[in-house]
Amino acid sequence: MKVKMLFILLLILPVVFSVTNLDFRLDVEEKGFYPNEEVPLDVTIVNRDSTFGAKDAELTITVGQRSYHFNIGDLNPGGTFNKQIKLPSFPAGTHTIKGEINYIGIFDERFLETSYGSFEVLFPPIERYPRNVYVSSYDFPENAILGESYKVSVTVTNDGDVDADILIEFGSINEFESKETRVAAGESITTTLNVKFNQAGISFIETRVYALIEGEKYLLNYGGKENYVTEKQKPQIPVDIIENKNNPAQISENIKSLNNLGEQHFCSADVACGEGQGDCDSDSECKSGLSCRLDVGEKYGFSKVIDICKRDDLLDISIDNIPIVFIHGHALNPGDAPTSIKRFEEFQKRFEIERLYLDKGAITLGTLENEMVKTQDWKTRVSIRVSYYLQKKYGGESDPTFEVSDQESITIYARRLGETIESILNCANVNKVNIIAHSMGGLVAREYIKQTNGKNVNKLIMLGTPNSGVGDFETAFCAERNPNTINECTDMFKDGKFITSLNGAFGGVNYYTVAGDGDFVVPESSVRLNFAHNKVANGCGHSGLIEPSQCADSYNFILDILKNKGDTQ
């Protein structure tokens, strides 16, 4: 009885801590501001729990298109975090403030708390104040290079009935270029600014238009988005550029070709790139023995998103030439689905660092149709992350957005997984994959195996998967925490139809399970299967099972499986 009560208490604690005992307030003075004034915002976070803290807390404040990010760190039991933020001026109107705290709870689970506030910006009491003047279009460089100059065009439209003297600004943080001009009522003007970015990293780059009245500037409108500014590095000269030391003319001609390195579509099937060169779009655009590696340009002196031809120098060990497919688990919080595909990134990078599998990034159903060239011609062992929540992809490689569908049953998710795996098999020219799945992802994989009788799966490795389902409390908590996922939460109920239907092995698949001895989310009793090779990983929590740096025992067990070194019963 004591053991049972302790387990119930452990399940309840995350709910109490994450919802009841964390006070989060956004306070703005109750007054009207003007478009030439800053807006002071007080942020207060109080952890009223006297026992448990919040780890690695991050704060995001969003107002309109503007977002501000702060690292809070650990919020100790009984601790208070207070910060005053001076928001810049805003145009006239009512503005909503959204605050989000993302933190790790006591069981290594991510939690998200949200708070809202608002403030009013008034039209100043100025006769013939310009209205309906706005930025109608602007352009700015994707993946800007630190210290480089760019010409940026900004178009401002005046739909009001007052001619306006305006100031146009473009830039980020405190680095803005500006230009004064005049826009007549009913007209639009386009102006060009020369801008330079002097701070690397992710910044909110925006354009602003102000009314200039008696020496004061009043914000009329703004627009922008987050963009990445990368440092410029000197490109490395590949060995094959200098092919003949005794032919200076040839050397000069070859080095001239470096001027176009790193530009989009520099490599082609007709003129294949050598090692360290890019941008490539597929393995066929690289010389023999090389493959096109995605988004590794920074290592070779180019922009982060440049794809580079690199040698397939995997270790010659007893690993089958079968792709690894990583499948994430349940989206605990609303809004988690779009980022779920990022899970297993550490696993994937570790595999490549140890020269076991080439990192082919992540793909969704949308990328498979629209960007197949990125995943074709896989000549050797590869690993791929997939998602059953994400269906279509929009935007470029550096700023993708997805169509999210996270309200279906596990049966539907398994069908989506099947479509993705079919495309992976075609790309890799193989007939089977190995699957490594976390938590609910293991149930999606098992349902897929059931639907196809396992014809396309060699090994299924499940980490913290609730194979025997979850209880009444966990099912209710799952659905309450993220109402979008009520169908999959119901499927995971231990006495439900879905869990019962999975009672058995299908096809000739080799099954493996890993349970963490510190996993208070899914206990070992629910993970273990009588027809699988089962492992208990020492010192590992639920989330840590997919992070080699936190759970070496699980990672080493998986390596032994992939290297065919026998099984652990």
The string of DSSP codes covering 497-532 is: HHHHHT-S--TTPEEEEEEETT-SSS-HHHH--TTS
Nearby residues of 4 by Cβ (< 8 Å), 6 or more positions away: none
Which one has a higher pLDDT value, 184 or 399? 184
Residues 365, 481 share a domain? yes
Q: What is the mean pLDDT of the chain?
A: 79
Residues 152, 10 share a domain? no
CATH code of residue 399: 3.40.50.1820
Which one has a higher pLDDT value, 282 or 36? 36
The DSSP line for 474-485 is HHHHHHHH-GGG
- Among 283, 311, 339, give the residue marking a domain's end: 311
Residues 146, 187 share a domain? yes
pLDDT at 242 over 50: no
Residues 555, 474 share a domain? yes
Mean pLDDT (whole number) for 214-224: 90
* Cα–Cα dist 324/341, whole Å: 15
Q: Is residue 481 a part of any domain in this protein?
A: yes
- Among 271, 287, 311, give the residue marking a domain's end: 311
Low-confidence winner among 150-154, 465-469, 484-488, 564-568 (lowest mean pLDDT)? 564-568
R_g of the chain computed on alpha carbons: 28
Residues 262, 225 share a domain? no
Low-confidence winner among 68-77, 193-202, 520-529 (lowest mean pLDDT)? 193-202
Q: Collapsing DSSP states into helix, strand and coil, what is residue 247? A: coil
Q: Cβ(134)–Cβ(220) under 8 Å?
A: yes
Omega before 553 within 30 of 0, i.e. cis: no
CATH code of residue 170: 2.60.40.10
| Number of folded domains that form the chain | 4
Nearby residues of 539 by Cβ (< 8 Å), 6 or more positions away: 517, 518, 551, 553
- pLDDT confidence tier of residue 405, bands split at 50, 70 and 90: confident
Strand duo 175-183 + 188-196: pairing: unpaired
Q: Is residue 378 a part of any domain in this protein?
A: yes
Q: Is residue 317 a part of any domain in this protein?
A: no
Q: How far is CA 22 from its chain centroid? A: 26
Which one has a higher pLDDT value, 224 or 433? 433
pLDDT at 305 over 90: no
pLDDT at 353: 73
Residues 187, 98 share a domain? no
Residues 492, 371 share a domain? yes
- Among 230, 250, 285, give the residue marking a domain's end: 230
pLDDT at 314 over 80: no
- Domain range for 147: 133-230
Percent of the chain, pLDDT > 70?
78
Residues 388, 481 share a domain? yes
For tokens 């002097």, the residue is 198
pLDDT at 57: 86
Q: Is residue 251 a part of any domain in this protein?
A: no
Amino acid letter, 58: E
Q: Is residue 77 a part of any domain in this protein?
A: yes
Mean pLDDT (whole number) for 405-418: 89
Residues 114, 142 share a domain? no
pLDDT at 374 over 70: no
pLDDT at 157: 93
Residues 180, 46 share a domain? no
pLDDT at 327 over 80: yes
Six token digits for residue 267: 């490599």
Residues 142, 91 share a domain? no
Determine if the pTM surpasses 0.85: no
pLDDT at 504 over 70: yes
pLDDT at 219: 94
Residues 334, 306 share a domain? no
Which one has a higher pLDDT value, 216 or 473? 216
Q: Is residue 448 a part of any domain in this protein?
A: yes
Q: Is residue 504 a part of any domain in this protein?
A: yes
pLDDT at 210 over 90: yes
pLDDT at 376: 45
Burial 195-223 (b: 16+ CB within 10 A, else e): bebeeeeebebbbbbbbbbeeebbbbbbb
Q: Is residue 358 a part of any domain in this protein?
A: yes
Q: pLDDT, tens digit, for every residue of 435-486?
A: 999 999 999 999 999 999 999 999 999 999 999 998 887 777 787 777 878 8
pLDDT at 11: 38
